[in-house]
Amino acid sequence: MKKWIIIWAALFITVLTFGLASAQNEPIIIKVGMPTVLSGPAAPWGQVGMDPYHAWIDLFNKEGFKVGGKTYNFKLITVDDKNTPEGGAAAAKQLIYSDGCKFLAGHWTWNFPSVATVANQAKVILLTRTGNEAVPGGVYDPKKFPYVVFANDSMGQYIADHLAIVEAYPKYKKIGILDCVIGKGPAADITVAALNKAGIRFVQEWFPFGTQDLTPYITRFKEAGCDIVYIAGWVGETMAFAKQRWEMGFKDMKVGHSGPFVSVDMYLAVSGKDAAQGLIGQYWTSWEFKKTKVNPKYIKMCKEVQEIVSKKQGKPFNYTGWVGWLPNHLLILSQAMQKAGTVDDTDAIMKVIRGGTFDTTIGKWTMSGAKTYGSPIVFGCPAALSVIKGDKEVYLSEHPTKPLP
Amino acid sequence: MPPAGIWIDGLIQSCAYMTMAFGMVLVFSILGILNWTHGQFYMLGAFVVYYAITAVGIPFPLGLLAAGVLVAGLSILVKKIIIDHITGDLYVGVATMGLIFFFEGAASMIFGMQDKGLARVLPGVVDLGSFSVSYQKIAVVSFTLVIMIILFIMLNFTRIGLAIRATAQQPDAASLYGVSVERLSLTVMGIGCGLAAMAGGIIAPLYTINPFIGGIPMIMSLLAIVIGGLGSLTGAIVGGLILGFLNSVVAYHLSYLSEVVLFMLVVIILLVRPQGLFGASVK
Amino acid sequence: MSFLELNQVTKTFGKLAALEDIDLQVNKGEILGIVGPNGSGKTTLINIISGYFRPTKGEILFNGKKISGLRPDRIASRGIVRTFQSNVLFEGTTVIESMLISAYQQYKTNHWQSFFNTRAWKQENEEVVGRVIELIKLLDLLNDTFLPADGLSHGYQRLLGIAMAMITNPSVLLLDEPTTGMNHEEAMFVVDKIKMLREQGVTIILIEHNMKVLMGVVDRVVVLNFGTKIAEGKPEVVMNKQEVIEAYLGTELI
Amino acid sequence: MMTYIDYKDVVPKAVIGLVVLLILLVPIITTNESTLSILILSGIWAIAVMGFTLVLRTGQFSLGQAAFMAIGGYTSAILTAQMGWSFWPAFLLAGLVSGLAAFLVGMVVLRVGGIYFSIITLSLCEVIRIVAQQWESVTRGARGLITAQPNPIPLGFFEINFFSSTVPYFYLTVCLVAFTALVFWRIGESRLGRSFAGVALNPVLAEHQGMYLMKYRVIAFTVAGVFTGLAGSLYAHFLTVLTPTMLGLWQSIQILIMSIVGGIGSLVGGPIIGSILLYTFGSYLTRLDIYGIQQLLFGAVVVLVLLFLPKGTGLVDLWGRFWTKVIWREKEFEMDEAEE
């Protein structure tokens, strides 16, 4: 009897010692939570980024990053937010209080004010995608939300996209801007003013949620004399629009959408090969930027990720939207942690982020601090556009984001 | 006056809603239940056609037929396994609402969530001077015409069709035609849901295909049959026509406000004529 | 002045006249029979008195006050309550539940007292339950008190319908063919019960297709045909009138 | 169509007391804000579900209950965010405005019955959503309103601070649920609630027994509107933001499913059990990262409950069966016989 106890104890101690010894070398995990949409109609946009994010984090973790002599690694935990503010808040709370995340990244959907509130209350740093008054649900009083970092200034991005189109097609007559009416509100005032100020000729139209048949809107644009129609982020509608304008015989009307191409094959399949030619999308792939300088290390990493994901999914993976967001968040976070010399004091990390300069996959960015667009911290990313040619996506034009006056 | 393209577009929309609504109203008038899963059968039909063409490689009309048959079988299964075992219209309604989530989830798991397209089916357009019409749209209209003619013949000249019409008027009339009520309701469930699937299949090449495309057609055909009068087959067709043209002609004039017009129209019609345009009077 | 009075009541559906210029006086405490062949407008008459239809022309006076055009619930709360030709019940309830649902309309305590569960409400509740039980006993439903109403036999369902009408304390009870679909024995049983009700001081208008049933019960009878009144008076007298026999020609008379 | 079972006689009072005590002690047992938040939100939904069930008791099948949450939510959000009111008056006014809206709408649309009523409420729900979206000067359109937190309540030695933790919200929600439950329970017990059965089960017969259908329907709809509005206000303030898409058709359907799955046999128990279980289950599902399985499982659970707990007895019936197989009717029968 006693013998057994001794043997068990010895075994236990050995295992423990080895475990502790190996733990010394093991990097310490920092959990980063990501509330994102994984169910419902918007789920494809949450889903498409998952593989590259995980692949990128794996690559990043090979090296890890050192703070105070210890090596740290990131671990991504995702929770479905059902694309509602309610779900966003619930997901954020689960991540913060049940999983113990000190950092949240993401929430790519519009409904993140509730996530911001939760993160702010818990003094958890939230690095998110967009942020200013022009975005639906825009929060962004730096005094109220001191722990929120915005990845890119969507309004600036929005304007820059249009400027990039103008650069690519300087002889355009009029740009038609189409958006779903559930996003109406922002564009009514600020965007219109900004576009006017930028000297862009445009007409705006709104379609009700769920509209697949866009013929009435195509006709309205045609009658208003638009030769380019730019659709705000609705990929399915863009494909339908491209197809329908082709069928109606308006073949010279150019179509584009804000947001990167999910997969060129999809556009060819839905719109038809002819109709999809010349479709304009955002282009995030850093390795082909012409005006923005990017650290070649990241270009290599991103290319590697594309390959890993292609292999995993067994088909070419050419979605590039993921490059702009989570990788940059994690780069900013790791660099800020190194500068601050701490991994859990969010106040100290935040202090470093504010006004600091960071190396990201889309170039070096200085966080503008609390002075722009009413949002606490903003960094921009260049508005690069691409266009579908044949069955490939090629570089079209680029317009660097500058803070608006 | 809106240009011709808008009217053609309204016709296409009407065709889709008519076929959907007709199936729904058939199911309602015989089984007495409102099938909230109708939109999901539409979605499944689109997927069947998609895979029939891309993976199996059978021609489009056959794929369409396959969609109708497969989904009809599925709907009969649903009736046998679920609907038959639940009593009370209200609870059957809620169960079919639960099935919305079930089928959307299943479709997401099996087919994936990303948009799929069938633009290569019947590509090309007919140029008619000031405007053009694609072959796909012509296919939609002619398909709807054929379906409506077949249904008309079936409902007026076959035994089962007569039994369906009689039962729609009076619940236990089926036996007069020597058809058992059980067989009749299975047939009707199959036909109704098969119609939804074929509507999905024929509309699919026009738009994108993903697991969530069923929601809007479902609401639209629900509104169509309610405007037309629940239980009235003519009403479903007229309701479908109204909504189809509303969605294109009114949208052409009023842009996004067409949504408001749509819902206000429904409210007003129901307040003025609570039984719908073609429904039998309650009193 | 009579208790319930119909003055030249006409009801048309489109061009079809279901009732034409009906004059009718009902005296307090009597049992009035209304007979007529199928489609003669009997049920329409009940529907008009109870407010289900509005008369196209004419007026109905109850205690000298006009009630035509009022909503059914108003007429019911004035004391004219009807039963239905088919078995119309609160599906899924038990006998006592059905009775109580009807009884709740005639409480003296208001909703607030009931909401706050005051003593007055409790007391009245007990009283009403007592009355319900009494009525159930009277109509021989006692054994079925806690059974589902739709499980009762046809005849008892009819009686339950009558009991539900009676519990609202009506002054006029309109019975729409209470014995349809019954054999003679069952019908007589129901008729016996109707006689008992009369002792409670209620005026009864009894609509019947089957004259045999009426003979022993009613004080007076009105015969309708094609929406017009063709005879009125003591049952024995009316039965022998030529018009009545003609109206019933080809159908079973007595 | 439906039987009403009163479980208060079935489940021992001690057990109910224990459950209530446990609920009150939750913030002490767990300090996990995530758990608390799930409970708070399921409580808020429970109120709306109770409202729906009350309307269902009169036989009307409303698909627009989320609209009243939206009306309540927007009322208090506008008052606090745009006009600088403090939370409490705005909260109460939210209930009143929503109740008034329910009353006015009810007066017009409740005379339509059956599925037509459902479709009208569905349409009105969408109209409310569209109005909230378009009326930008007041509702800020799709940008949404950022609601204010309730001011701290000083209580001598300590203060109730709504901003620093969710515990005050938890107790506020518990109080509101308890108050709603009390009112609804009394309505169900009183002559009013029992008359609803008549209106629901056979409107024509009920009308001829002297029940003014509209009176009962409007009362039920208005009471439901008041409490649903309060729930909406709490919802908006707890989540700190209100956008038009938050309360639409799908939320109405969610309320309906919670109600039926929970069981409509009881006005209080069913909605509470249904919303807590379904909401918690839904929140658990968000952790799964197999795409689509959340919806699949949710749908399957709804269908299974309807298959195995038929006729709207729902989950609350399991709770009842757990304690005794005797239903109240038989019990009462014995009691009555004893009296005689």
pLDDT at A350: 81
Mean confidence (pLDDT) of chain D:
82
Contacts of C152 (CB under 8 A, 6+ apart): C95, C144, C160
Q: What are phi and psi of A57, to 5 degrees?
A: -65, -40
Instruction: Indicate the helix (H) or strand (E) that contains C175.
Output: strand C172-176
Structure tokens, C187: 């019908």
Q: Which residue bears the tokens 């299949």?
A: B201
A75 has pLDDT over 80: yes
Contacts of A278 (CB under 8 A, 6+ apart): A254, A255, A387, A388, A389
Question: Residue C234 — left, alpha, or beta (φ > 0 → left; ψ -120 to 50 → alpha)?
Answer: beta
Chain B contact present for D194, CB below 8 A: no
Q: Which residues sit opposite A150 in a β-bridge?
A: A128, A378
Distance CA D326, CA D335 (A): 13
Question: Are residues D303 and B105, on separate chains, in Cβ contact within 8 Å?
Answer: no
Tens of pLDDT, residues D107-163: 988 888 778 888 889 999 989 988 888 887 888 777 778 777 777 777 777 777 777
Using alpha carbons, list the distances in angstroms from residue D171 to C64, C65, C79, D26, D271: 60, 57, 50, 10, 19
Pure H helices in C37-86: 42-49, 72-78
Say which CATH superfamily domain A156-284+385-399 falls into.
Answer: Response regulator (3.40.50.2300)
Lowest mean pLDDT of B172-176, C60-64, D234-238, D287-291, name the range: B172-176
pLDDT at D3: 45
Question: Are residues C76 and D2, on separate chains, in Cβ contact within 8 Å?
Answer: no
Closest D-chain CA to C79: D210
Lowest mean pLDDT of A355-364, B212-221, D96-105, name the range: A355-364
List, as one string, the DSSP characters of D86-102: -HHHHHHHHHHHHHHHH
Q: pLDDT confidence of C1, banded at 50, 70, 90?
A: low
3 state SS of C169: coil
Distance CA A162, CA B214 (A): 34
**Window 158-197 of A, Cβ < 8 Å to D:** 181-186, 188
Mean confidence (pLDDT) of chain B:
86
- Going by C-alpha positions, the residue among A348, A351, A360 that lies closest to residue A323 is A360
**Domain assignment present for B53:** yes
pLDDT at A235: 81
Using alpha carbons, list the distances in angstroms from residue A159 to A156, A185, A190, A192, A253: 5, 16, 11, 10, 21
pLDDT at A143: 67
3 state SS of A189: helix
Q: Which residue has the higher pLDDT, A120 or B40?
A: B40
List, as one string, the DSSP characters of chain B: ---HHHHHHHHHHHHHHHHHHHHHHHHHHHH----TTHHHHHHHHHHHHHHIIIII---HHHHHHHHHHHHHHHHHHHHHHTGGG--SHHHHHHHHHHHHHHHHHHHHHHH-SS-B--TTSS--EEEETTEEEEHHHHHHHHHHHHHHHHHHHHHHHSHHHHHHHHHHHSTT-GGGGT--HHHHHHHHHHHHHHHHHHHHHHHTTTS-B-TTTTHHHHHHHHHHHHHH-TT-HHHHHHHHHHHHHIIIIIHHHHGGGHHHHHHHHHHHHHHHSTT-SSSPP--
B43 has pLDDT over 90: yes
Query: How far from the centroid of its chain's Cα atoms is residue A134's Cα?
Result: 17
Closest A-chain CA to B204: A270
Q: pLDDT confidence of D1, banded at 50, 70, 90?
A: very low
Residues of chain D contacting residue A87, judged by C-beta atoms under 8 Å apart = 286
Closest A-chain CA to B250: A216
**What is the DSSP-derived secondary structure letter of residue C150?**
G
Using alpha carbons, list the distances in angstroms from residue A214 to A220, A269, B20, B101, D291: 10, 18, 20, 27, 29
Question: Are residues D119 and B97, on separate chains, in Cβ contact within 8 Å?
Answer: no
Q: Confirm if B235 and B168 have CB atoms less than 8 A apart.
A: no
Chain A contact present for B12, CB below 8 A: yes
Count CB pairs under 8 A between chains A and B. Answer: 124
Instruction: Indicate the helix (H) or strand (E) that contains C13.
Output: strand C4-13
3 state SS of C45: helix
Closest B-chain CA to D294: B105
Q: What are phi and psi of C19, to 5 degrees?
A: -135, 140
Chain A contact present for D127, CB below 8 A: no
pLDDT at C44: 84
Of chain D, the end-to-end C-alpha distance in Å amounts to 31
pLDDT at A141: 61
Q: Confirm if D166 and A90 have CB atoms less than 8 A apart.
A: no
Q: Confirm if D212 and D85 have CB atoms less than 8 A apart.
A: no
**Domain assignment present for D134:** yes
Distance CA D237, CA D40 (A): 12
Q: pLDDT confidence of A403, banded at 50, 70, 90?
A: very low
Chain B contact present for D307, CB below 8 A: yes
**Domain assignment present for B126:** yes
- What is the average per-residue pLDDT within B100-117? 88
Tens of pLDDT, residues A263-301: 888 888 888 888 888 888 877 666 667 777 777 888 888
Task: List the domain boundaries for chain A.
Answer: 23-128+292-361, 156-284+385-399
**Domain assignment present for B250:** no
List, as one string, the DSSP characters of D123-175: HHHHHHHHHHHH-HHHH-GGG-EEPPPPPPEEETTEEE-TTT-SHHHHHHHHH
Residues of chain B contacting residue A217, judged by C-beta atoms under 8 Å apart = 251, 255
D200 to chain B, closest Cα gap in Å: 13
- Going by C-alpha positions, the residue among A195, A164, A178 that lies closest to residue A233 is A178
Question: Residue B117 — left, alpha, or beta (φ > 0 → left; ψ -120 to 50 → alpha)?
Answer: beta
Q: pLDDT confidence of C251, banded at 50, 70, 90?
A: low
Closest B-chain CA to A217: B252
**Window 223-252 of D, Cβ < 8 Å to A:** 235, 239-246
Cα radius of gyration (chain B): 19
**Domain assignment present for D61:** yes
Chain D contact present for A36, CB below 8 A: no
A404 has pLDDT over 80: no
Q: pLDDT confidence of A24, banded at 50, 70, 90?
A: low
**What is the DSSP-derived secondary structure letter of residue C32?**
E
User: Which of B98-132 are b and which e, b meaning 16 or more Cβ less than 10 Å from the residue's Cβ?
Assistant: bbbbbbbbbbbbebebbbbbbbebebebeeeeebb
- Going by C-alpha positions, the residue among C62, C87, C74 that lies closest to residue C162 is C87
pLDDT at D340: 39
Mean confidence (pLDDT) of chain C:
80
Question: Are residues B116 and A181, on separate chains, in Cβ contact within 8 Å?
Answer: no
Q: Confirm if D19 and D149 have CB atoms less than 8 A apart.
A: no
Chain B contact present for D133, CB below 8 A: no
Residues of chain D contacting residue A110, judged by C-beta atoms under 8 Å apart = 142
Q: Is chain A in touch with chain C: ≥3 Cβ pairs within 8 A?
A: no
B274 has pLDDT over 60: yes
C240 has pLDDT over 80: no
D333 has pLDDT over 50: no
Query: How far from the centroid of its chain's Cα atoms is residue D94's Cα?
Result: 15
- What is the average per-residue pLDDT within D259-281? 86
Count CB pairs under 8 A between chains A and D. Answer: 117
Chain D contact present for A346, CB below 8 A: no
Q: What are phi and psi of A366, to 5 degrees?
A: -100, 125
D284 to chain C, closest Cα gap in Å: 37
Q: Confirm if C48 and C19 have CB atoms less than 8 A apart.
A: yes
- Going by C-alpha positions, the residue among C6, C17, C37 that lies closest to residue C224 is C37
3 state SS of D311: coil
Closest B-chain CA to D301: B98
pLDDT at D312: 66
Q: Beta-strand (E) ranges in chain D?
A: 145-146, 153-155, 158-160, 241-242
Any idea what the Cα angle at residue A185 is, between residues A180 and A189, rounded to 5°?
125
B112 to chain D, closest Cα gap in Å: 8
Lowest mean pLDDT of A127-141, A252-266, B221-235, D232-246, name the range: A127-141
Q: pTM for this structure?
A: 0.87
3 state SS of A18: helix
Instruction: Indicate the helix (H) or strand (E) that contains A66.
Output: strand A65-67
CATH topology for A23-128+292-361? Answer: Rossmann fold (3.40.50)
Distance CA A122, CA B185 (A): 57
Tens of pLDDT, residues C199-214: 878 888 888 877 777 7
**Window 183-212 of B, Cβ < 8 Å to D:** 211
Number of domains in chain B: 1
pLDDT at D102: 93
Distance CA D301, CA D261 (A): 9
Chain C contact present for D1, CB below 8 A: yes
pLDDT at C108: 77
Mean confidence (pLDDT) of chain A:
77
Q: Which of B86, B94, B263 sits opposite D123 (nearest CB)?
A: B263
pLDDT at D98: 94
pLDDT at A135: 46
C243 to chain D, closest Cα gap in Å: 34
C254 has pLDDT over 50: no
Q: pLDDT confidence of D100, banded at 50, 70, 90?
A: very high
Q: Which residues sit opposite C60 in a β-bridge?
A: C6
Distance CA B114, CA A317 (A): 13
Question: Are residues D283 and A94, on separate chains, in Cβ contact within 8 Å?
Answer: yes
D229 has pLDDT over 90: yes
Q: Domain of B34?
A: 17-206
- What is the average per-residue pLDDT within A315-323? 78
Question: Are residues D130 and B263, on separate chains, in Cβ contact within 8 Å?
Answer: yes
Q: Which residue bears the tokens 């929120």?
A: A148
Q: Domain of D227?
A: 13-339
Closest D-chain CA to A112: D241
Q: Within 10 A of D125 (CB to CB), how many other CB atoms are there?
A: 25
Torsion angle of the four alpha carbons D161, D167, D169, D170, in this order, in degrees rounded to the nearest 10: -160
Tens of pLDDT, residues D59-77: 888 898 999 999 999 999 9
Number of domains in chain D: 1
pLDDT at B68: 93
Residues of chain C contacting residue D265, judged by C-beta atoms under 8 Å apart = none
**Domain assignment present for D88:** yes
A23-128+292-361 against A156-284+385-399: fold identical: yes
Using alpha carbons, list the distances in angstroms from residue A277 to A164, A267, A394, A398, B183: 18, 9, 11, 19, 52
What is the sign, positive or negative, of the torsion defined by CA atoms of A19, A21, A27, A32?
positive
**Window 172-231 of D, Cβ < 8 Å to C:** 186-187, 189-192, 194-195, 197-198, 201-202, 204-213
**Which of A309-313, A342-346, D199-203 is most confident?**
A309-313
The two beta strands, A392-399 and C228-233, are unpaired
Question: Residue D312 — left, alpha, or beta (φ > 0 → left; ψ -120 to 50 → alpha)?
Answer: left
Q: Is chain D in touch with chain A: ≥3 Cβ pairs within 8 A?
A: yes
pLDDT at A392: 80
A153 has pLDDT over 70: no
Instruction: Indicate the helix (H) or strand (E) that contains C86.
Output: none
Distance CA D247, CA D231 (A): 12
- What is the average per-residue pLDDT within A60-64? 85
CATH of C1-79+170-254, one of 2.60.40.10, 3.40.50.300, 3.90.950.20, 3.40.50.720: 3.40.50.300
Burial of residue D151, with CB atoms counted within 10 A of its CB: 0-12 exposed, 13-18 middle, 19 or more buried:
middle
